Amino acid sequence: MFKVFKGSCFIVFKDVESCKKFVEQDSVKYGKRELIRKFRTVYFEDKRREKQEKKRQRAFYKECAKSGTPLKFPKGTVIHFSGIKRGEGRRNVFRIDFQEKVKDYGKIEVKFVDYNEYTSEGYLRFAQENEAVEFFKTVGNATFEIKGHIIKLRVLEGDEEEEYLRKTSDSILKATKNKQNADNKMKRTYHWYGWTSGGKVSKRD
């Protein structure tokens, strides 16, 4: 089985001082990309908090799906992109390409890339209020290039933004509800068949 490189790694230094010097530098770049550097203990603590936050988010989604309460998203967080060409000699563009491209422009990270790899357009959704606006200003000319494709950008506003966020809420809550129903069905199946100590299913009498 092959593992996909996710863009991070651990480096072992010969001594503590060398490690501290590397981590505490004002800036370290690989090409044009600013490298994020953390001590291992800090990295694992950040991951622990991230896991807890995702767990809280899933619980919140479940509660909203159960009660039928729409999710609320901050404004100024969505960018529409277009311009991906299809055809012979064209390189495919994937969600990870957009995530990496956004990182080239600073510390703002895209929350979700709403994009089907067989289409020519999609959306970038950011986490904090007006982050899409800030990112758009940083890009400057309303376009950037990915794998030879000139990608056109525009920030969603007004009714268009409201409609997109409403559909996003509906999609998330529907997926949450479907997963909850599937989990409940699986639990009922386990209860009906039972489990042996070896982890194998044995049908009840």
Q: What is the pLDDT of residues 49-100, one digit of tens each?
A: 989 988 888 888 888 888 888 999 999 999 999 999 887 667 889 999 999 8
pLDDT at 54: 85
Q: How many CA atoms lie within 13 A of 74 on its CB side?
A: 12
**CATH top-level class of 78-161:** alpha beta
Q: What is the mean pLDDT of the chain?
A: 86
Q: Structural domain boundaries of the chain?
A: 16-67, 78-161
Predicted confidence band at 180 (pLDDT cuts at 50, 70, 90)?
confident
How many angstroms separate the CA atoms of 1 and 22, rounded? 33
How many angstroms separate the CA atoms of 90 and 100, rounded? 19
Q: Please say whether the beta carbons of 110 and 102 come within 8 A.
A: yes
Place of tokens 């899933």: 58
Find, among 179, 174, 182, the residue nearest to 64 by Cα.
174
